[in-house]
Amino acid sequence: MSEPASGLELQDIRGPSALGGGTKRFFDLLWLSALTEFKLGYHGTVLGFLWSFLRPLLLFGVLLVVFTQVFRLGSQVENYPAMLLLNILLFDFFSQATQQASTSVVRNESVVRKMQFPRLVIPLSVVLTNALQTGLSLIVVFVFLLVYGVDPVWTWLFLPLILGALAVLTTACALLLSAAYVRIRDIGIIWAVLSTVLFYASPILYPIEVAPQSFQDLIALNPLTPLFEQTREWIIDPNADGAVEAVAGNTWILIFPIAIWVAVCVAGPLVFNRMAPRVAEEL
């Protein structure tokens, strides 16, 4: 053990915060926590972390049968199974990460109340864990796309853009929800229902053009909508309408999902930062 350094300066102790305790420790903790959660995520199950891919895959199987055999939607859309699988995986990342994050601060009560712990690490590590799982699953999905016969095109290189925008939105939602959940426990249930609503109100199961016009206007407000539209144009079917073409000339409509995206991304960190110093007393 090293001797304590002599000539230490007195420094202000300002109490707990979202980031407190030094940047190095923050990132070390974030990485270690995420890795631990990733390792323990499907702890005790026979198939282990394969489940992180199998779970969306099973949902995909059910929906594929319903929408190709019952509703015949699949046959109207180019590469429908490929689109469905990729969309489900991306949405699963969003919904799992936000739902797990919403309760995360409360679940880690003992660390919050008995240790100087940077609060932001808690929801961020949940998002990071889910990002790791999704990243691994994406490799499998792209193998599937190639086997299925989707032509690789140069616009695949834009995938990180979509993932980045989705990850930022997911993180902001995670922060907002985890902060709100400390005071209002209803958030857990409300968000579970809202996630389901978002699932159907995003062009995941269907391309936006098959929806009735009035419904199209509504889901155009959803900040997830442009992401899925761009995913389809860039990855699955270059001839499909992207986010800009889908609004058919009324480009100004895009302002709404973008504005909501920006608003959530600003509000998330702000709300969390306000809550962070007092959370130990609220719990």
Partner 1 sequence: MSANPTSRETSTSMLTVPETFPPAVAVEVRGLQKSFRIPTQRIDTLKERATQLFSRTEDRELRALRGIDFDIHRGEFFGIVGRNGSGKSTLLKLLASIYRADAGTVRIAGRVAPCIELGVGFNPELSAHENVALNGVMMGLTPREATARFDDVIEFAELEEFTEMKLKNYSSGMLVRLGFSLMTHVDADVLLIDEVLAVGDASFQQKCFDAFARLHGEGRTIVLVTHDMAAVEGHCDRAILLESGRVDRAGEPGDVARRYLELNFGRREPGEVEGVASGARDAQVIGAAIERASGEPASGFAQDEEIVLEMVIEAVRPLVRPVFGFQLVNADGLLIFAPEPILLTDRERLEPGERARIRTRIANPLAAGHYYIHAAVGRGFEGRDPVAFRKNVADFVVYGTRSFGGLVAIDCAAESEVEPRRDDGI
Q: Give the interface with partner 1 as residue ranges (CB under 8 A).
A: 1-5, 8-16, 20-21, 24-25, 28-29, 32-33, 36, 40, 43, 110-111, 113-117, 183-186, 277-278, 280-281
Nearest approach in angstroms of CB 281 to partner 1 is: 6
Contacts of residue 264, Cβ cutoff 8 Å, sequence gap at least 6 = 169, 172, 173, 176, 223
Nearest approach in angstroms of CB 195 to partner 1 is: 18
Residue 193: count other Cβ atoms within 10 Å of its Cβ: 9
CA 258 to chain centre: 16
Q: Closest CB to partner 1 among 25 and 253?
A: 25
Nearest approach in angstroms of CB 102 to partner 1 is: 14
Q: Closest CB to partner 1 among 32 and 210?
A: 32
Copy the structure tokens of residue 265. 């991304």
Copy the structure tokens of residue 131. 């990002």
Mutual angle of helices 80-102 and 159-183, in 10-degree steps: 30
Q: Closest CB to partner 1 among 2 and 75?
A: 2
Contacts of residue 159, Cβ cutoff 8 Å, sequence gap at least 6 = 231, 234, 235
Residue 72 carries which side chain, given as an amino acid letter? R
Copy the structure tokens of residue 278. 């007092």
Q: Closest CB to partner 1 among 28 and 245?
A: 28
Q: Closest CB to partner 1 among 113 and 152?
A: 113
Distance, in Å, from the CA atom of 153 to the CA atom of 234, rounded to the nearest integer, reads 8
Nearest approach in angstroms of CB 42 to partner 1 is: 12
Instruction: Classify the C-alpha dihedral 147-148-151-157 as positive or negative.
Output: negative
Nearest approach in angstroms of CB 189 to partner 1 is: 10
Nearest approach in angstroms of CB 37 to partner 1 is: 10
Q: Closest CB to partner 1 among 20 and 74?
A: 20
Copy the structure tokens of residue 69. 């055999």
